[in-house]
């Protein structure tokens, strides 16, 4: 299999994910992901619930943004501390590298697929993407 320029982008994002995962660990990666989900839910439901209480769009937006940040911080802190207690340091770093590496690989594949879908020049010819698509879809 010969690698095209988009394949190097995919591999660079995966390698960057592995290095990042070694530093933040599994607890950091899981805590960030969980915090982002909590912030998204807080923003979605907060926007709907604040419609009757706040008439100003700016005040409503600021209140929802603040609630989302608080939800992110609380969930991130709870998950990070819980996972750090359950998982010792070498395991935390190794599982963090694996989780962030897979995440970086998925982001890279998604970006190359999107670039091909949009018809951006130079995005075609990815061997890695065609191999994944052959097995997935």
Domain that holds residue 106: 11-130
pLDDT score at 60? 86
**Does the reported pTM lie above 0.75?**
no
| pLDDT given at position 66 | 94
User: What backbone torsions phi and psi does residue 53 show, to the nearest 5 degrees?
Assistant: -90, -35
The total number of structural domains in the chain stands at 1
Q: Is residue 1 part of a domain?
A: no
Spatial separation of the C-alpha atoms in residues 75 and 26, rounded to whole Å? 15
- Taking the CA atoms of the chain, what radius of gyration do you get in angstroms? 19
pLDDT at 128: 85
How confident is the model over 6-63, as pLDDT tens digits?
889 889 999 998 998 888 888 888 888 899 899 999 998 988 888 778 778 788 889 8
Tokens of 132: 């994944």
Does 5 reside within a domain?
no
In a domain, 82, yes or no: yes
Is 4 inside any structural domain?
no
Contact between residue 131 and residue 3 where contact means Cβ atoms under 8 Å apart:
no
Q: What is the average pLDDT score of the chain?
A: 87
């Amino acid at each position: 299999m010969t690698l095209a320029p988009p394949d190097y982008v995919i591999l660079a994002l995966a390698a960057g994910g592995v290095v990042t995962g070694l530093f933040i660990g599994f607890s950091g990666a899981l805590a960030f992901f969980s915090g982002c989900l909590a912030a998204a839910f807080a923003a979605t439901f907060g926007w709907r619930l604040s419609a009757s209480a706040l008439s100003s769009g700016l005040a409503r937006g600021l209140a929802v943004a603040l609630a989302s940040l608080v939800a992110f911080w609380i969930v991130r802190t709870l998950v990070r501390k819980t996972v750090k207690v359950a998982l010792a340091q070498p395991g935390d770093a190794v599982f963090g590298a694996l989780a962030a590496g897979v995440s970086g690989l998925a982001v890279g594949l998604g970006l190359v697929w999107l670039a091909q879908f949009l018809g951006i020049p130079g995005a075609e010819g990815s061997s890695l993407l065609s191999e994944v698509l052959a097995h997935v879809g």
